[in-house]
């Protein structure tokens, strides 16, 4: 039995999802010879630390009751630097302007020789090259499937599962909020403003939905794909971005009468990176509805391969973190 000591840095929806998944999968992981021991759980107010492994159920309960998991005042950065462990699971809130705490956490982790698995897009969108090189120099493993498409595999699909099959382009719906809004506008023949309000009430859109509806979130994910799959040294500036704020119910209606839906499509290839609303035939594989994500990978040997799944959700996103964790162990 191999012991894998990890920290969960950031205990919001996704961090808690990771804790739930680790609890759920404890036996399965042990059966594969892996004793996953969470030695620290950290949120913005502090941490719970135990070198022999914290009680995850306790942590979840405390977070629910008290709003924080903290038993001692210490930052994620300090935990990464001072607590002995092999893997940092970085799930702090994403900041695409500065990279936020996440960027510092990841760099510190590599400096300490710790592997990183993350769902945090910001640092990767801003400093992909620097992060990947820091990991390489330190001999650490760095995986981030959960940053794009949530539970829906894209990065590992293109780079690992489709090894040898050159990827020419990837296009799809990478933002569930926008997909929900456009789907509901069509269903209800309602205005953009009305459906946006509905999405916010349901928690599908944030209080400030700008990043989603302006296509910024999709653009960030495409930057990560451009770097990790196409090896392009791309940044946010290289993306041509148009969001959904101008889409009308009339346009959706006319499109539908002509056999099309309108979806916010993100597209990346060596020719460019684009986010824009597009006309999609109703029976096209990319015409999925609700909050689903979908990605179509155009491969050299096999044409288009399409995956669809849930792009958000705490346990759903945590499932991608789990599979990254398992694959690191397998590699070792």
Partner 1 sequence: MRVSMDIELKDVPGQMLLALQPLSECRANLITVLHHHQKLTPRKTVPVQLVLETRPENIPAIKAKLEENGIKVVRVGEHRFRESINVVLIGHVVHTGIQDTIDEIDKTGFAEVVDISLSMPGIDLLSSAFIKINALGKEEIQKALNILKEVSTKKDLLMVLPIDIQA
Positions annotated as catalytic residues are 221
Judged by CB under 8 A, the residue of 267, 316, 321, 324 near partner 1 is 267
Sheet holding 2-9, edge to edge: 46-49, 34-43, 2-9, 87-90, 115-118, 142-143
Closest approach of partner 1 to the CB of residue 254, in Å: 4
Residue 98: how many other CB atoms lie within 10 Å: 12
Q: Does position 280 bind partner 1 by CB under 8 A?
A: yes
Judged by CB under 8 A, the residue of 271, 283, 301, 331 near partner 1 is 271
Closest approach of partner 1 to the CB of residue 99, in Å: 28
Contact (CB, 8 A) for 10 and 92? yes
Token pair for residue 261? Answer: 């839906």
Cα–Cα dist 166/176, whole Å: 27
**Cα separation of the two ends of the chain:** 13
Per-residue burial over 31-56, b = 16 or more CB atoms within 10 Å of its CB, e = otherwise: eeebebbbbbbbbeebbbbeeeebeb
Judged by CB under 8 A, the residue of 274, 309, 328, 329 near partner 1 is 274
Cα–Cα dist 276/214, whole Å: 9
Pick from 154, 165, 139: nearest CA to 306: 154
Q: CB under 8 A: which stretch of 33-41, 59-67, 121-129, 269-277 binds partner 1?
A: 269-277
Q: Does position 313 bind partner 1 by CB under 8 A?
A: no
Q: Residue 28 or residue 256: which is nearer to partner 1 going by CB?
A: 256
What x/- string results for residues 224 through 253 when contact with partner 1 is judged by CB under 8 A? ----------------x-x---xxx-xx-x
Q: Residue 85 or residue 171: which is nearer to partner 1 going by CB?
A: 171
DSSP secondary structure of 121-181: HHHHHHHHHHHHHHHHHHT--EE-GGGSSTTS--HHIIIIITTTS-EEEEEEE--HHHHHH
* Residues contacting partner 1: total by CB under 8 A: 28
Cα–Cα dist 167/302, whole Å: 10
Judged by CB under 8 A, the residue of 254, 270, 282, 290 near partner 1 is 254
Judged by CB under 8 A, the residue of 276, 305, 307, 315 near partner 1 is 276
Q: Does position 190 bind partner 1 by CB under 8 A?
A: no
Q: Residue 2 or residue 189: which is nearer to partner 1 going by CB?
A: 189
Judged by CB under 8 A, the residue of 234, 265, 288, 297 near partner 1 is 265
Contact residues for partner 1, defined by CB under 8 A: 171, 240, 242, 246-248, 250-251, 253-255, 257-258, 260, 262, 265, 267, 271-272, 274, 276-281, 284, 286
């Amino acid at each position: 039995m191999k012991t894998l000591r990890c920290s969960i840095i950031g205990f919001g929806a996704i961090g808690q999802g990771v804790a739930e998944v680790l609890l759920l999968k404890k036996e399965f992981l042990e059966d594969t010879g892996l004793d996953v021991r969470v030695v620290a759980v950290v949120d913005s107010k502090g941490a719970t630390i135990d070198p022999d492994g914290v009680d995850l159920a306790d942590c979840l309960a405390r977070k629910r009751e008290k709003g924080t998991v903290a038993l001692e005042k210490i930052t994620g950065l300090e935990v990464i630097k001072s607590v002995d462990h092999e893997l940092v699971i970085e799930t702090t809130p994403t900041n695409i302007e500065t990279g936020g705490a996440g960027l510092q956490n990841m760099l510190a982790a590599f400096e300490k020789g710790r592997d990183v698995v993350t769902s945090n897009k910001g640092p990767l969108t801003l400093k992909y090259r620097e992060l990947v090189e820091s990991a390489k120099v330190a001999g650490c493993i760095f995986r981030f499937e959960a940053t794009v498409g949530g539970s829906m595999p894209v990065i590992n699909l293109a780079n690992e599962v489709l090894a040898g099959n050159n990827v020419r382009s990837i296009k799809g719906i990478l933002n569930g909020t926008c997909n929900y809004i456009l789907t509901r506008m069509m269903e209800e023949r309602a205005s953009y403003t009305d459906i946006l309000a509905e999405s916010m009430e349901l928690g599908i859109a944030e209080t400030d939905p700008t990043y989603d509806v302006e296509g910024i979130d999709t653009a960030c994910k495409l930057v990560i794909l451009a770097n990790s799959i196409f090896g392009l040294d791309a940044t946010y500036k290289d993306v041509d971005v148009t969001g959904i704020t101008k889409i009308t119910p009339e346009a959706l209606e006319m499109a539908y009468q002509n056999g099309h839906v309108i979806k916010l499509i993100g597209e990346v290839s060596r020719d460019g990176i684009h986010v824009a609303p597009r006309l999609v035939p109703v029976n096209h594989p990319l015409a999925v509805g609700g909050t689903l994500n979908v990605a179509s990978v155009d491969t050299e040997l096999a044409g288009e391969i399409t995956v669809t799944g849930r792009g958000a959700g705490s346990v759903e996103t945590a499932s991608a973190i789990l599979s990254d964790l398992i694959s690191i162990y397998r590699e070792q």
